[in-house]
Structure formats: structure tokens, C-alpha cells
Amino acid sequence: MNKKQKKVLYRIIAAIVMIIVLELLPLTGAIRLILFMVPYLVVGYDILRKAIKGIWNRQVFDENFLMAVATVGAIILGEYTEGVAVMLFYQIGELFQSYAVGKSRRNISDLMDIRPDYANIESDGKMEKVDPDEVAIGSIIVVQPGEKIPIDGVVEEGNASLNTSALTGESLPRSVNVGDAVISGCINESGVLRIRTTKEFGESTVSQILDMVENASSRKSRSENFITRFARVYTPAVCYGAVALALVPPIVRLTVLGMTPEWGQWIYRALTFLVISCPCALVISIPLSFFAGIGGASKEGILIKGSNYLEALAQSKIVVFDKTGTMTQGVFEVIGIHHNIMPEKKVLEYAALAESFSNHPISKSLKKAYGEEIDSTRVSEVQEISGNGVTAKVDGDEVSVGNQKLMTQLGITADDCSQTGTIVHVAVNHTYAGHILIADRLKPHAESAIKELQKLGIQRNIMLTGDRKAVADQVAQTLGIHEVYSELLPGDKVSKVEELLAGKKEKDKLAFVGDGINDAPVLTRADIGIAMGALGSDAAIEAADIVLMDDDPLKIAKAIQISRKCIRIVYENIYFAIGIKILCLILGAVGIANMWLAIFADVGVMILAVLNAIRALFTRKQI
């Protein structure tokens, strides 16, 4: 509890003590009024100030105005105890709400406690702690055991085990050595690392993640926008309704029926009506539910950019996957060289050199299989043909490396392969030199992820890939995916997603899951873009609506599960709060409900709704 909350608590306790004392004393008349005004002002002066400020700024109709009018009116009618009690319980509800929201924020802060406080820089043989914002690109920073990596960089010296749980939600450590890229937010568990920074602190992964989580509340869902619009109409409506309740029945009794108007009774009913009508439960609990849902997802290493994406994810009925790097590990290995007209080593050398400027997983596997240092001076006139391969000059020879489409495009007859895998054809000086067979591995939880999505009621699981049909069909069959589209260029993937979007029901949402780099156009086009395996990827964080901070496909089902729980809680609060208020408003209008029931309809409902909203912060460990 912070200082402000403690101050409110002390005021509440003081007011309760004064009310008890005053109720025990035999006070009447003006003295009773004056003495009751003391606890009233002690506990409610800030509410009155906010109400007056709202009137001055022409923003009259809010909960502060409702409480001020209701309590002042009750005191004018001589109901001193009830007037003070309404303000007292309202403050108790506000205190509880403030504590609950603060607790949720602290929990999320703890879950995302990855912002480093300092960076170590060596100066004249001594270690100096500086603000991470002051560290320039290319600086050498030192990270000791137990410290957080403050800025993204590359290990220059040392080896260590890094705890990435704050980013990924997983406790499995990651080993790093010289030459490995490391990202900010990870905790060094062993060994001293000297890291050359590759980004400024403001551009580092840790800053991007924190900015994304902090800005998530700015992207409101339809439910939040509805409640905002509802409150703008609802609050003035009930105020006018209360005025009508206070004036119309007495006037009708007097002028039409010739009866006693009973002004005090109807004004009391109108004041009770105002207390009941306060929309606090809705205005507070709905945003808190989404905030808690985003926090619960963050704990699992699932970063959601806004409550609108959380709501859309809950409505997902179609999930479309990229293959490489999403359902497979993207760890390609050369397992054979076939139909070669020159030594296997020479075919591999040509392929590795031609692909030497690419960072594609297949290119990396070729260079790894070659096993020797790449001499880039031997390579010139490199041209990448999107979705097909590359052409280049290696030692003066024209080398083409790519898929069947590239060979067809160049007019070269290529031999097919009977084995399943990715086929990389190689041609030298427009003569077919052979092909290299490369195989990828499925991710450990890929098959389980599809089963979990089916359990969650996902109607269609679809895989899109640029790989050969034989490879794609085999992967899809193993995973249990019944729809697969293969041999697609990046533009073809966008077209296929647009086709799927056009064919689905209006309320159903389509989620696309990709690596966040090569699939950026598709991630943007889908209803929901989910970036997989994107630890530290700027492109993923930028393009996707939801980022999974590790490469576990099972997190897709977890994200949908969290989103649906959150939306279920939101609707529970909406139905509960509106239902109770409508019932109590009717009872108040006919004179059955008094101020004490009104207090429950306002403060009690708000507390129950806030407690329910906080449930969204917690998720089951296993699906």
C-alpha cells in the first residue's frame, strides 16, 4: 500500500470512529448536523472537490458528481448517518479498487522486470557503472554473474548460461559463447561476459518490449469502447431520470390526484437512485480485466500489443501457419548430394560461396556443411531471385543455386529426387551440376500444438510454405494439418491469406503465425499476426500484433486460452454489473431499496467485479 492509499485508509478509520461516537451521543438539531459534517468532510472532501472541478470544466456527469449530489441531498433531508455512510463506503470501494489496480500493475512489473538499472563499462582498468542510455553503439560492456544484460550485442569474450525466463516464460537456460548475439533483459547466471553493443539502449529488445506492454492500453477493444460510449450516455440519462423521479410523482400527486406531494420521500428515492446508478463497476473492471489478461500473457512470454488484439484472438477460428521456423526448427542439415557431375565437395563449395551473402536457414546449412572459411573475394555479381534462389559468379564461373522454378526459369533441365526434403539444385555455367538434399526438423511441441488448437475449437488449421509439395505434405501429415499449400512465393502467401479472409464468416478471425521477418506482409494482412520464435527480432515486434518470445508452437494455444478467459471475465462483469444495477434501480424507484442497498449496488458490485477481473492475471501452467 502506497502513501496515498495509506492516507485514504487513515481518513476512513477516523471517519468510522467519529460516526460511532456521534451515534452514541444524544445529539439533535444544528449541533448534530455540524458534528456530522466533520466525518463527512474528512472522508469526502476530495470527492466534493473533483465534482466541483468537473462542473467548472463542463464535465458534469461522472461518479464524483453522483456521489456529491446523493450525499449532500441526504444530509439536507436530515439523513446524516446515511449521507456520511454513502461517502464512506464509496471511499472504501475506491481504496480497494486502487489497491487492486496497483497490485495488478506491480504483478505485471514483476513479471516484466527486465529493465536494467545500469551498464558496466571498463575505464582505465576499473569498472564503472553508467546509465544504459549513455552507452554508444560499439562500446564494450561487462556483464557479471547475476546481472542483467542491459543492451543488445555480440559476445566478444567469455561464455555463460543465460536465464531468459523474463522474456520467454521458460526457465531453460541458454548457453552463449564468443560470437553469439545476446539480447537485453536476459540474466547472466554464470561466467563474465564482455559484450560489444550493436544497438542503443532505446532500440534494444528490452526497451521495445516494455514500450509495447506499456502502450498496450492505448489500443482499446470493442468492449472497452462500448463501455466508454455507454457511460457517456448512461450517466446523464440516470441523472435526468433521478430529477424526474424527484419531481414528477409529487407534482402528479398534487395537481392530478389532489394528494400530499411527499417531496422528502421522492427526493430520497431519487438520491438512492443516483447512488445505485453509479457506473464504477463497469468503467473500472472492464479495462482492468484486459490489463490483467495482457499481464497474465506476459508472464507466459506472450506479448500482446493491445486489448483489441486480445479480443480478436479470442474469436479466432482459423489458424494459418508458416512452415519453416514456425512448425519446424529451421535447423537445416545437408543429408546428401545426388546426380552430381563433379565431386560432391565441389558442388557444395559452389553452392556455399554463391549463398555466402544470405542469412536464410538453407544458406546457413550449406555454409555449415562446406565447413571452410568463406572467401567473399571469390564471389561477385550476386543476384537474389525472391522465392527461387540466387545466381552469382564464383571464380568467374556462373553459378545458379535454387529450387526447380529457378532451373526452369534459366532453361536448365534438373533431375528430381526420390527422397523427401528440401532440394537445392546447382548449375555451373548453365550446366546442371547436381542437387543437394537438405532436411529440417519438426519442433518438439508442434504436433501437440495442433491437437490443443483442435481441442479449443479451431475449425481450420492451414499451413503455407514455399517448400516442395512432397516435403510440405509429409510435414502436414505428421502434424495432423489437413490443409496445406506449397511452393508459394511471399506474394502468393498474401494472396492465399486474402482468399481465406474473403471466404470466412464475418465474426470469425484468422490468425497467421510466422517468423515475423520473412512473413511480415502476411502478418500485417491477417486479422491477427502472431510472430513465432522471434526472440530479439525487431521485425517481429514491429509487424506482429502478438509476439511469442520463444519458438514453442504450444504457446499459440496458450495465447488463445488466455484471451478467451479474459473475454469471458469481461462479459461476466458486464452482465453482472448491469443486471444488478437494473434490478436495484427498479427497487429504488418504487421505494423498496434504501441507501444501504444502494451502497451494495454501487460499492459491493464494484468490489466483486474488480475481484473477478483480477482472475485474468492468472493462467494455468499446463493446457
- In the block, cell 532436411 appears at 439
Alpha carbon 284 to its chain's center? 19
- Are 78 and 589 within 8 A, CB to CB? no
CA nearest to 512, candidates 485, 537, 536, 535: 485
Residues 6+ apart with CB under 8 A from 549: 167, 168, 169, 209, 301, 302, 303, 534, 535
Rounded distance between C-alpha atoms, residue 152 and residue 162, angstroms? 13
Count H helices, E strands: the chain? 21, 22
Beta bridge partners of 105: none
Catalytic residue, chosen from 152, 322, 527, 602, is 322
Residue-by-residue DSSP string for 71-117: HHHHHHTT-HHHHHHHHHHHHHHHHHHHHHHHHHHHHHHHHT----S
Going by their DSSP bridges, the two strands 528-531 and 509-514 should be labelled as: parallel
Alpha carbon 609 to its chain's center? 22
Reported as half-sphere exposure (CB side, CA atoms, 13 A), residue 192 has a value of 8
Question: CA of 502: how far to CAs of 114, 495, 505, 508, 522, in Å?
Answer: 41, 11, 8, 11, 15
CA nearest to 90, candidates 237, 269, 274, 227: 274
Reported as half-sphere exposure (CB side, CA atoms, 13 A), residue 513 has a value of 33
Q: Is 322 a catalytic residue?
A: yes
Question: Per residue, what are the HEC states of 225-248?
Answer: HHHHHHHHHHHHHHHHHHHHHHHH
Reported as half-sphere exposure (CB side, CA atoms, 13 A), residue 155 has a value of 22
The secondary structure of residue 487, as a DSSP letter, is S
Give the catalytic positions in this structure: 322
